[in-house]
Amino acid sequence: MIRSLAVLVALGSLAWATNTGDSAAPVSFTDQDGNVRKVPAAKPVLVIYDDDAGRKTNNKAKDLLGKLNSSLENQALVDVFPVADLAKWDWFPAKQYALKEIRQTAKEKKTTIYLDWKGDVRKAWGLAKGKSNLILVGTDGKVLFASQGECTQQQIDELVGILVKLGWKTNV
């Protein structure tokens, strides 16, 4: 009985752990060139966390966020971290091929892509595999917005509203 309870508690801790108002566990991201960034940071950070399956969803939200983030004024207020969950590629020689592909994509898109080779961020924040995850973390480490899976229009509007409160302009 005690063992069963311990298993249930452990499984419960793997559930979605990043809710609005919660403190996000501190995490570090390494980009395709080995540079490290941390969350929380000196300015709010919007993390767009996807694995192979998740990157194919949430395009409406990602396209809008990409357009808004193209403004240097908006970039100065909030960091946007696209993060790739590459845990399934963390073995030789697959890792080298994946890194080459990531670098090519980053060059084409003129962006920085952060890499989670071991799934550490997914585990620390309780993110779901196979789903697009959007998490906005304030400078104090509090989660300002969090979603898993395809965002509804209401969720997109809520996220944009929070970004506007942080100073983002939507007429870019």
Residues 6+ away with beta carbon under 8 Å from 30:
36, 114, 115
33 lies in a domain?
yes
4 lies in a domain?
no
Range of the domain at 94: 16-165
150 lies in a domain?
yes
Between 116 and 6, the more confident residue is 116
123 lies in a domain?
yes
pLDDT for 131 equals 92
3 lies in a domain?
no
27 lies in a domain?
yes
Between 56 and 142, the more confident residue is 142
1 lies in a domain?
no
Q: Which residues pair with 133 in a beta bridge?
A: 49, 148
The domain total for the chain is 1
Could you give the count of Cα atoms lying within 13 Å of 72 in the half-sphere of its Cβ?
A: 0
Q: Which two tokens stand for residue 18?
A: 């990043």
Residues 6+ away with beta carbon under 8 Å from 110:
none
Cα 130 to Cα 51, 83, 106: the distances in Å are 6, 13, 21
What CATH number does residue 42 fall under? 3.40.30.10
Task: Kindly give the pairing relationship between strand 45-50 and strand 79-85.
Answer: parallel
Full-model pTM = 0.85
- pLDDT, tens digit, for every residue of 46-92? 999 999 888 888 899 999 999 999 999 999 999 999 999 999 999 99
- Rg, C-alpha atoms of the chain: 16
Q: Which two tokens stand for residue 46?
A: 């919007």
Encoded amino acid at 2, one letter? I
pLDDT for 17 equals 52
103 lies in a domain?
yes
d(Cα 102, Cα 164) in Å, to the nearest integer?
30
Encoded amino acid at 61, one letter? A
Residues 6+ away with beta carbon under 8 Å from 45:
39, 78, 79, 80, 81, 136, 137
